[in-house]
Structure 1
């Protein structure tokens, strides 16, 4: 009987499973515990995501993926002839020194960072081949994983490899060129310097052409003005019927003087005749001669300034025309001197690009700075982790 009781108890054995209640009041079975590695991963997710993973990626990228880049550096300065202190003699005396030309230097900087420089490197240095060297990494090589073979993308990649920095205190510009090979960097720097020198030469030629052209236009204008004044003076002489009205008036004045002297002599003879023989026949003759000469003097004076055909207004117009002709001749002479000075200046170099430091091949890669960037990413990641951990602790304290 005892054996039956034991079997009955074993048959009626029920395993009790603990239940949990959800929000609706329904009992649910408890979740199975997570694996230990997953629990540890969740526990350390913050440090893994914000610190360990960025540092690991930085070590992989800077240690294994990114390629070495060699930098070639060149320095130059743009100068122009110094004209300070010469004044009006600047056009007739050679330049004794040079001074910095900041505007032209800025033009060179813009050229180096322009698409024209890219086209020049493509033609003379095979820029596409330089940027697609097998030594390069997929992120910096062109075309690469993140860039297609387009002209705009090529220009953007070019700006990553070439930079120029001016020094305002000395006027020296520093050109820095990177590439995957030392010789390629030197070649690119040489081509860019040659292109900058060609730009300076074009600026010189343009300045020379503009200066000479402006001087020639001024000469033509002054020449036309001088010819016009001469033609006006010739037309005036033909209309007045005299070459020099001033000389004509001088002749009239001399004639009037002679006639007045003759009248004075006749008056003296008349006075003497009246004293000696008041009734003499020569008295009437003397009086007639005096009257005739005085009438002639009146006519001569009328020709000078007493009628519409008088010489006074004609002389005034003539002197005005002569003065205008002299001014036109002086302006023409000055324009001719300016043209000659412009031609002399055009024979001299106005702008110079002086190379201070020639580009040289680097012995070791200057980029990327692997340890520096890994250290920076390490510090930044640690800072983010510390901020995230502090914020998490603060939120948990508020929940408690």
Structure 2
């Protein structure tokens, strides 16, 4: 019967293996578990959920014409939600809420918790980094839904921080909506201001022309002058006929012939003056030139004023349409979960964190042992 094999004696490397397991795996796991269960403060969570929505209302003309109807879009634009997502993680939001409820005091409440509490002497950059650990964001880019889980060391503080985020997000969306409306109407407003200024200048020019010439409407004045010229020409024709009849029926010395000749001369002189006003008499005086220049200036002013009035009407219509279109679309924050008040502490997840630390330490220790024996076998 063969003899039994001698019992293997533990070697130095075996003791080193056990010591490394105790030091690298068991000790960190026990220390972390002791800290989590005995020292770490309870954390309470407040949940809030919202999304950016855009409301579109049809105009009165559209409703009367049956072109559109009142409706509500399925959600805001993706860019608005992306902006809000980045804003919640920004230093600006942290500063606003810190000024409102003093985040340093809220997150430094534990008497001794160097891992999960905030150092009240930390700067704003430290507070922003700590904020990202205490405010967890879940964002669905396809639906635009944003859900936040806000942690704090009391239920009331967690709810206050969540309410602050909701209020500041709502304020930011309102600012974006106001900026969008201002941008939509700014160009139309500038065009309207230019049209108003152009119309004012043309009306002032027309008023100055009428004050200078003492003529309200040169076209009416021309018609009156033409009527006078036609009347003088009729009188001239009648006087010429009377003169010819007198010459045929009376003696050349008849005083009525001389009287009619003087009358004809006066009428011809008046006709010549009236014709010179219109530039038709062939005269070289400045009267015809001045009157023609005045008529040309009036026609130019009339065309410019008419154009300015039409441009003003078009700009005013465009401005009103831009305002109506801007008012038809407005962004707002739709809250589907109001900030909740926690009933019990769910964080830190002590058991899960202990297992994770132990598992990670065990993995590192196992990798180290594999490397050690691989190197040892190669010698």
TM-score (norm 2): 0.68
Alignment match, 2:305:
325
Residue 361 (structure 1) aligned to one of 326, 335, 341: 341
Match of 1:19 in 2: none
> 1: CA distance between counterparts of 2:174 and 2:257?
97
Structure 2 residue aligned with 1:69: 43
Question: Secondary structure at 1:258's aligned position in 2?
Answer: helix
The answer to whether the 8 Å contact 1:78/1:352 transfers is yes
Structure 1 contact 46–389 (Cα < 8 Å) conserved? no
Q: 1:120 to 1:295 in 2, by over 3 A?
A: closer
Q: 1:208 to 1:39 in 2, by over 3 A?
A: closer
Look up the match of 1:133: 109
Change in 2 beyond 3 A, CA 1:87/1:50? farther
Residue equivalent to 2:3:
none
Superposed CA deviations along residues 165-184 of structure 1, whole A, max 9, x for unmatched, are 44332233222211123332
Contact 1:260 1:297 in 2 (8 A): yes
- Mapping of 1:1-400 within 5 angstroms? 39-44=13-18, 51-52=25-26, 55-56=29-30, 59-62=33-36, 64-82=38-56, 96-99=70-73, 100=76, 105=81, 108-109=84-85, 111-122=87-98, 124-134=100-110, 137-143=113-119, 148-200=121-173, 225-263=198-236, 293=267, 296-306=270-280, 308-310=286-288, 311-329=291-309, 350-377=330-357, 380-399=360-379
| Structure 1: tracts of 5 or more residues without a match | 1-34, 90-94
**2: CA distance, partners of 1:163 / 1:114:** 13
Alpha-carbon contact 2:56-2:329 (below 8 Å) kept? no
Which fold has the larger relative contact order, with Cα–Cα distance below 8 Å and residues 6 or more apart in sequence? 2
How far did 1:128 drift? 3.6
Q: Secondary structure at the match of 1:231?
A: helix
- What is the SS of the residue equivalent to 2:287? coil
Find the aligned partners of 1:164 and 1:290 in 2 and give their Cα distance: 105
Query: Hey, what's the Cα distance between the residues in 2 that align with 1:285 and 1:388?
Result: 143
Summarize the Cα distance change of 1:380–1:128 in structure 2 as closer, same or farther, 3 Å threshold.
closer
What's the RMSD between the two structures over aligned residues? 5.0
Aligned residues: 356
Structure 1 residues 217 and 397 mapped into 2: Cα distance closer, same or farther (>3 Å)?
A: closer
SS in 2 for 1:255: helix
SS in 2 for 1:75: strand
d(CA) in 2 for partners of 1:41, 1:297: 139
Instruction: Tell me by how many angstroms 1:330 deviates.
Output: 5.6
Separation of aligned partners in 2, 1:226 and 1:154:
58
Supply the distance in 1 between the matched residues of 2:359 and 2:81 (Cα, whole angstroms): 40
**Distance change >3 Å, CA 255–CA 56, structure 1 → 2:** same
Question: Structure 1 residues 131 and 318, CA, compared in 2 at 3 Å: closer, same or farther?
Answer: same
Report the Cα distance in structure 2 between the residues aligned to 1:139 and 1:269, rounded to whole angstroms.
Answer: 128
Structure ID, larger Rg:
1
SS, match of residue 157 in structure 1: helix
* Alignment partners' CA distance in 2, 1:326 and 1:53: 93
Structure 2: distance between partners of 1:264 and 1:168: 95
C-alpha contact (below 8 Å) 1:81/1:96 kept by paired residues: no
Gaps of 5+ in 2: 1-8, 64-68
Contact kept in structure 2, 1:76 and 1:174, CA below 8 Å: yes
Which SS does the other structure have where 2:335 is aligned? strand
